[in-house]
Structure 1
């Protein structure tokens, strides 16, 4: 098994007939999935998603894949294939289309419909869309693509087989093997087996649940729990889930009909996505069950159901505002039931529990994954992955979609079934498939690209470090006036602190040491204002650290009089 190595150099030229795989996101984190394939001088991109920021990304709205390695080759892209409609697979498409607006987009009807509304939000013109379904084959340049039905937590997910004439690659996208899916559309293991018989040279497999033993439970296993919540609730029910989880919303609608309740959507993305799903036939809405959110107030509490965004504790989401009692028209009352029907994305735990505590404080009963079976994963567990390796029997395996621990766990599963060559790579690590053997050939520079408001890519890791320091330690400003003629301090230092427990009087002990340090430096011939500022920064920083055990940001200003 080969592992990524930080000392890898740029990859050499790709040999004739070879296939190059360049992951630009999704290998080393759960999100921002994007993989670039190169063959005969042409590129094929599979997925282009976003990663949502965590607490150590202050002020960041989204994190994108790094397009830099392919920026000078955008005209070589034959197509962008989208395996399904989740944000971590389609969310960055508008940002790529800003750089080349006519890239052909390939995906299922639902995936493209969800993307189309996103492009409208970004005010991007309609590009060429190729709607495909399982069983379809389509050719782009040197790539022949075949699409295979896979089951996931959103309808219409697809795996893609990529044939180049010299190699066959099978990319699962996100998938699981629910044998009793709500929509009756199962993962097509017969197609997987057929491809295995033909010969799969490289198998790229979803790693998200590789550490979880056994098989992922069926979506239908949640239905009795939802029914029980509806049966036991005497007042209003609020269900929070992902705005793309059409199957979960279908279960809620069916339960509402069975218990004579009306349903309203809360949250812009929920209203938009469920409207798209209904129009395309992926969501069945029984007549009379759906009403506008503000109309629910006219009904008694025991007939109300709200389906809301905010299952991850997002601060501006509908559920967070409800928990803070700052929502326009939804106010939690004693005896209401809140159902968090989703998983906890790693890093969101504190935010979610903050919302749960806020809801409980107002008297709501909160049902969540910690106390009831209200969510099942959309990803294949270890037993399903083993099953797939045994029926596909690939020559080479490259785990994708997951943190490094997930990739390594998936690699061990592949090796356990007898796969001889397993390549573990991370973002930017280039893997070449030449003469039937996959090997790491080098690395491209590939980092995080931060979206901050309307700014894309201008925020750096250094900026985030500064923001974290400001948020955790505050800052101290020091203004000093020096006389360039006499070479002495003539005014100040004036010192102010913000964002910490230090008041201005605290700094009386350090004022004279600042003056002494500057006078000494100027006596020795230092006149450059930047060097004098550094002396102030070091003097104050050392004193604050030794005296108060703090490391605030220090902003020195030296003015020449």
Structure 2
């Protein structure tokens, strides 16, 4: 197997007739999916998604792929192909279009509709091309064929990419539910046909590669949801992804069967369900939906609220309800159902919300105690099936953390793909497909680009380190005035501390130490503010460490008088 390593240098020029593949996100992580294909000096992008921040990235709203690799070559981009409408596959498109607004966006009907609603908020009018399974389109040297795949959102597609260098099949996110709610099966006959033609490189979803067997069918959730509705005392609150149209349809069906009215809560939920309803992807019987302003007019035992917040997002409707920071007040007669699986890294946030809701007496139903969600990603049995059907010459696992990629690579080896033809790459690693052989040839920058409010890319790792220190250790500021000629102390020290755990009465001892040190350096003729600044920083840092075993951010302010 070919493995990336930190010593990889910049890639050589792509040989004539070769196909270059560079993932700028989605490898070694769950999210931020974006892959660039290059042939003959032209580029094709598949997906352009975001990654959601974790606790060690305070203040960050979104994490984007790094566009630096293609920034000087945006005029060479033929199109952006979007496999489905989840945020981790389409969420970064508005930021890419800021750099070149006329890049054609290619996707299914629902995917483009969800994206266009998002782009409207960014005041961007995109160039779009709607495609469907069985369709074919050519962009420059890239001849594309689209195949249906089953996922946790309707209208998901796999894409076959044909160039003179060979045939690549990128599955996108998929599973093989044999009884999907919308009747739309993963196109295994199409996969087999491509396999018979000869797939030079298979790039397949790895998210569930460690899970044995096959994913449970979505249909098995329906009776569980119906049972929750029948046994609920009064109000029911369902939290799920704003894009999980199938799950919302099951909730609507259960509401109708139990004579309940439904209200969507949260901007993204209202927007996405409006799009799905308008396009006919969700069936809402007349008289079922109500507006949030009408909630007080409906008895609690006839209400269902569908909201966001299944991942414990701090500003989501459910998190605010748990924290008593929402107009909807949780009571001990409410039933709250979290109809989603946990995204890795969100465990603490979700548990915090569950505990908050439980504090107010609500009954909590979640994947840990009821079958209220199944994954949208193929398990190991399904992945083996696809590998055997497609018989790829080369294999590259995508969409997953390191453990998922390695587990998927082992599955490929079991099906007979030679070790030297299995490429495990990470973000930024460059893979060339030349004469039927895929090899790692170098690496390009592919770091995180942070979105913080209106700021894009301005927050650095150093900034995040400062934020973590401030959040974990607090800060101490020291203001002094020194004579510009002699360096003698003429004002202060004045000390302020927040979050550092320092007792105020201990400031007297610290002030005496600072005064003593400043007298000594003034006697030595030191009057440079920068040197005084560093001296105060070291003095205060040592004192805090010795007395409190803490390392707060220390901010000296030296004013020359």
Please indicate the TM-score interval, normalised by the length of the shorter structure.
Answer: over 0.9
Q: Which runs of 5+ in 2 are unaligned?
A: none
8 Å CA contact retained: 1:496, 1:504: no
Q: Which runs of 5+ in 1 are unaligned?
A: none
Instruction: Determine the structure 1 residue equivalent to 2:371.
Output: 373
487 and 307 in structure 1: CA distance in 2 versus 1, 3 angstrom threshold: closer
Distance in 2 (alpha carbons) for counterparts of 1:66 and 1:149: 29
Distance in 1 (alpha carbons) for counterparts of 2:197 and 2:469: 56
Map residues 387-536 of structure 1 onto 2, 5 A cutoff: 387-420=385-418, 421-536=421-536
Q: How many equivalent residue pairs? A: 559
SS at match of 1:80: strand
Map residues 136-285 of structure 1 onto 2, 5 A cutoff: 136-285=135-284
Distance in 2 (alpha carbons) for counterparts of 1:65 and 1:185: 31
Q: What per-residue deviation string (whole Å, max 9, x for no partner) do you get for residues 298-329 of structure 1?
A: 2222211111111111122111222223323x
Distance in 1 (alpha carbons) for counterparts of 2:487 and 2:278: 77
Report the CA distance between 1:488 and its aligned residue.
2.5
| Alignment match of 2:334 (pick from 328, 336, 339) | 336
Supply the RMSD in Å over aligned alpha carbons. 1.2
Report the CA distance between 1:59 and its aligned residue.
0.6
Instruction: Determine the structure 1 residue equivalent to 2:65.
Output: 65
Moved more, 488-497 or 310-319: 488-497
Distance in 2 (alpha carbons) for counterparts of 1:259 and 1:302: 10
8 Å CA contact retained: 1:83, 1:159: yes
Moved more, 524-533 or 459-468: 524-533
8 Å CA contact retained: 1:293, 1:306: no
SS at match of 1:516: helix
Report the CA distance between 1:492 and its aligned residue.
2.2
8 Å CA contact retained: 2:500, 2:550: no
Instruction: Determine the structure 2 residue equivalent to 1:21.
Output: 21
Report the CA distance between 1:44 and its aligned residue.
0.3
- Normalized against structure 1, the TM-score is what? 0.98
8 Å CA contact retained: 2:266, 2:316: yes
Report the CA distance between 1:257 and its aligned residue.
1.2
8 Å CA contact retained: 1:240, 1:311: yes
Instruction: Determine the structure 2 residue equivalent to 1:322.
Output: 321
Moved more, 208-217 or 515-524: 515-524
8 Å CA contact retained: 1:477, 1:555: yes
Distance in 2 (alpha carbons) for counterparts of 1:407 and 1:114: 29
8 Å CA contact retained: 1:495, 1:504: no
8 Å CA contact retained: 2:476, 2:500: no
Instruction: Determine the structure 1 residue equivalent to 2:362.
Output: 364
Q: What per-residue deviation string (whole Å, max 9, x for no partner) do you get for residues 317-374 of structure 1?
A: 111222223323x222222111110011122222212221222222211101111111
8 Å CA contact retained: 2:165, 2:433: no
Report the CA distance between 1:16 and its aligned residue.
0.6
Distance in 2 (alpha carbons) for counterparts of 1:106 and 1:513: 67
8 Å CA contact retained: 1:262, 1:296: no
554 and 117 in structure 1: CA distance in 2 versus 1, 3 angstrom threshold: same
- Normalized against structure 2, the TM-score is what? 0.98
8 Å CA contact retained: 1:158, 1:172: yes
Report the CA distance between 1:487 and its aligned residue.
3.4
Q: What per-residue deviation string (whole Å, max 9, x for no partner) do you get for residues 136-185 of structure 1?
A: 00000000000000000000000000001221000000000000000000
8 Å CA contact retained: 2:486, 2:527: no
Instruction: Determine the structure 2 residue equivalent to 1:82.
Output: 82
8 Å CA contact retained: 1:496, 1:503: no
Distance in 1 (alpha carbons) for counterparts of 2:430 and 2:178: 36
8 Å CA contact retained: 2:40, 2:141: yes
Distance in 1 (alpha carbons) for counterparts of 2:313 and 2:506: 38
Distance in 1 (alpha carbons) for counterparts of 2:188 and 2:546: 65
Distance in 1 (alpha carbons) for counterparts of 2:295 and 2:511: 64
Report the CA distance between 1:508 and its aligned residue.
2.1
Report the CA distance between 1:251 and its aligned residue.
0.4
